[in-house]
Amino acid sequence: MSFQKVRGFHDLFGEELRKFRHVSNTVREYLKRYNFEEIILPVVEYAQLFERSIGEFTDIVQKEMFVFPDKKGRLLALRPEGTAGAVRAYVENKIYALKPYWKVFYEGPMFRYERPQAGRYRQFHQLGAEVFGILDPIVDAEMINLIYKVVSELKIDAHIEINSIGCRKCRPAYREALVEYLESVSGHLCDVCLERKDKNPLRVLDCKVPTCQQAVYHAPKMVDFLCDECREHYEKLKEYLNMMDVPYVENYNLVRGLDYYTKTVFEIVSQELGITIVAGGRYDYLVEDMGGPPTPAVGFAVGLERVALLVKDLPEEEPLYFIVAFDEVRDYALKVADILRNEGKRVELSYKRGSIKKQLELANKLKADYAVIIGPDEKSEGSITLKDLHTGEQKKVYLSTSL
């Protein structure tokens, strides 16, 4: 009998995992510089949390959630994203009463029942950051700048898209104008968009079907409907981004697939793959809607697998020392391995006995950088013979001296 992984789920290892970790470490490094703290959130939450926050008529809630009853029949869900859980934690732990504002990040697996394809899995990983409690667009600018720095450091060819989708004051009028416009072009919309038109009309703007994209080309733009507060917020954001030399393009059709966003929305889009690798925005009502005090907030989530796909070069690994030894001095070899590891070196001790030649072949197979050769002379002198496997150079080193 043999087993296979579940469709859409994957094993992460080897080079792919090294790239994945490199991305995660780089994001974490910048989050540290911006003074974010970490939270580890549960993978399972009540399904209602996501229905209420992400929105009933979104793709995630309607089609993509893994929902199952527990033994008492309560509906649980594998989390499809991190913001809802972060908001729940903020409210439930009354963090608003403990801190003037909260800068927090989370990392972990997310689950969405989607059609698997390149860069799209049913279990994938996000590293997301949120700032709770600040309305100032300076935070939106910082978030975009932070993630721009990460992408630049990773040498990924990508651009930033921004838009404003307004607030409760200004969006209804826009929505009305948009629905009216969509009615007039309904003959050109795909079936999904015909349904979205009534339930979630903004989503029609970012439909990928070419006829829909053409149909919305002349649609009214949210930016033309922004109230004074939202307009000012958006103008300030652009001013701050310009000040920090962060390049961006305005995409008036950028709306995001989750209902909770207000004002700023942004995405980082890979030139190479033509897909979004980081997405985020502001959600100024969500905390209140989830039972907390009125608290503006802004966040983003990095799709770690997708960014890892774009990483070309990895930082060099620590050199590998491979210890080969004559059978009669394997006790000394074990001791030498211990000494070198105590110095912090990456050490592999040949588990193969027998000829030094055979052991050296193993060192090459494991891509070791140095062979540490140990015979009876070395044992009696307290030395090792160090061979550089790249150049072939060999020298004797006494263990009191550093390698």
Q: Sign of the C-alpha dihedral, residues 104, 107, 110, 115?
A: positive
Residue in 22, 120, 159, 335 binding ligand ATP, rule: CB under 6 A:
120
Q: Which stretch binds ligand ATP (CB under 6 A): 120-128, 163-171, 173-181, 315-323?
A: 120-128
Residue 62 is classified by DSSP as: I
Q: Which stretch binds ligand ATP (CB under 6 A): 111-119, 160-168, 340-348, 352-360?
A: 111-119
d(CA 126, CA 134): 23
d(CA 268, CA 310): 13
Contact positions with ligand ATP (CB under 6 A) in 293-332: 301, 303, 305-306
Bridge partners of 69, per DSSP, are: 75
Residue 114 as a binder of ligand ATP (CB under 6 A): the answer is: yes
Residue nearest to ligand ATP (CB): 303
Q: Sign of the C-alpha dihedral, residues 239, 244, 245, 251?
A: negative
- Per-residue contact flags (x/-) with ligand ATP for residues 262 to 281, judged by CB under 6 A: --------------xxxx--
Residue 302 CB, nearest distance to ligand ATP (Å)?
A: 7
Q: Measuring CA to CA, which residue among 301, 300, 295, 302 is closest to residue 132?
A: 295
Q: Is 142 annotated as a binding residue?
A: no
d(CA 343, CA 323): 15
Contact positions with ligand ATP (CB under 6 A) in 58-87: 81
Residue 54 as a binder of ligand ATP (CB under 6 A): the answer is: no
Q: Please give the single-letter amino acid code of residue 147.
A: I
Residue 253 contacts residue 205 (beta carbons within 8 Å): yes
Strand 158-164 to strand 67-69: parallel, antiparallel, or no bridges (unpaired)? unpaired
Q: Is 148 annotated as a binding residue?
A: no
Residue 126 as a binder of ligand ATP (CB under 6 A): the answer is: yes
Helix (H, G, I), strand (E, B) or coil at 244: coil
Residue among 55 and 137 whose Cβ is closer to ligand ATP: 55
Residue among 90 and 121 whose Cβ is closer to ligand ATP: 121
Residue in 96, 121, 148, 181 binding ligand ATP, rule: CB under 6 A:
121
Residue among 114 and 288 whose Cβ is closer to ligand ATP: 114
Burial (CB count within 10 angstroms: exposed 0-12, middle 13-18, buried 19+), residue 313: exposed
Helix (H, G, I), strand (E, B) or coil at 69: strand
Q: Is 74 annotated as a binding residue?
A: no
d(CA 307, CA 201): 30
Strand order in the sheet with 370-374: 346-349, 320-325, 370-374, 383-388, 394-398
Q: Is 276 annotated as a binding residue?
A: no
Q: Which stretch binds ligand ATP (CB under 6 A): 67-75, 114-122, 351-359, 384-392?
A: 114-122
Q: Is 393 annotated as a binding residue?
A: no
Annotated binding residues for L-histidine, as ranges? 81-83, 112, 126, 130, 256, 260-261
Annotated binding residues, as ranges? 81-83, 112, 126, 130, 256, 260-261
Residues that bind ligand ATP (CB under 6 A): 81, 112, 114, 119-121, 124, 126, 257, 276-279, 301, 303, 305-306
